[in-house]
Amino acid sequence: MARVDTADQPMEPRSGPILQLIAAGLQVWIGSQCEAVQNLELQLHGTALQLLRGQLQGVSLSGQRVVYRGVAIESVHLRSEAIQVKVAALIRSKAVELDHPFIVRGQVSFSAGGLVETFRHSRWQALGDSLAEQLLGITPLADLRLTENTLIFSAHATGEHPELEIETRPCALDGSVGFVCLDGTLKLRLPMDPAIQIESAGVQDGSLQLQGEALVSP
């Protein structure tokens, strides 16, 4: 369900259908990028005249249970900077085409179950096993648990190895997500798309929470 924000500025007469069309187009675009999105709330910021000129002051997006490229996100709250869109293409195909890159800022959170689901996905399983190997010395990664402020990795026992686990503290590290062992002996950094910059990371309220920005390109 899309919701158009009209509180900030008055809209031009008879602009409702145009705004709704653009909101629908944005939903189509978002849906095409994600495997699943629940409880979606979309707000468009700007006037009808600006929209007809192919400009938006920004878009706000909130959703729960989002799956994006195999990454299971518990909740997401994003706000973009100004966006330029191709209105003619939108009206013709009801899909969004962008003229220029734009920045999106916000917060995403992950439950322990979502992290486990992510690292069991074929796209990310090798990464999860690599983390287990570096942190614990054995693979595969068996489980992930969240405490009040830490993330615990565990791996299954093999013939000569007992089952092992290690407690880490997530943090922002060089624009990515890092994991620091509580005794400070080991520090790992997740590989990250250069278009994404993580500014803060930590465990709060039973979830792993990340804040940062991403550059969205046409």
Could you state, in order of their start, the residue ranges of all structural domains in the chain? 16-100, 112-216
Burial class (CB in 10 A: 0-12, 13-18, 19+), 46: buried
Rounded average pLDDT over 159-188:
87
- 69-83, 159-173, 190-204: which range is least confident on average? 159-173
Per-residue model confidence as pLDDT tens digits over 18-47: 666 667 777 777 777 889 888 888 887 877
Q: What is the pLDDT of residue 13?
A: 36
Cβ count within 10 A of residue 102: 19
The whole-angstrom separation of Cα 198 and Cα 172 is: 6
Q: What mean pLDDT is predicted for residues 148-156?
A: 92
Q: Are 105 and 150 in contact (CB under 8 A)?
A: no
Rg (CA), the chain: 21
* pTM across the whole model: 0.82
User: Which of 90, 85, 89, 77 is CA-nearest to residue 101?
Assistant: 85
| DSSP string across 14-40 | T-HHHHHHHHHHHHHHHHHH-SEEEEE
Q: Is the pLDDT of residue 16 over 70?
A: no
**SS3 category, 197:** strand
pLDDT at 80 over 50: yes
pLDDT of residue 126: 96
pLDDT at 1: 39
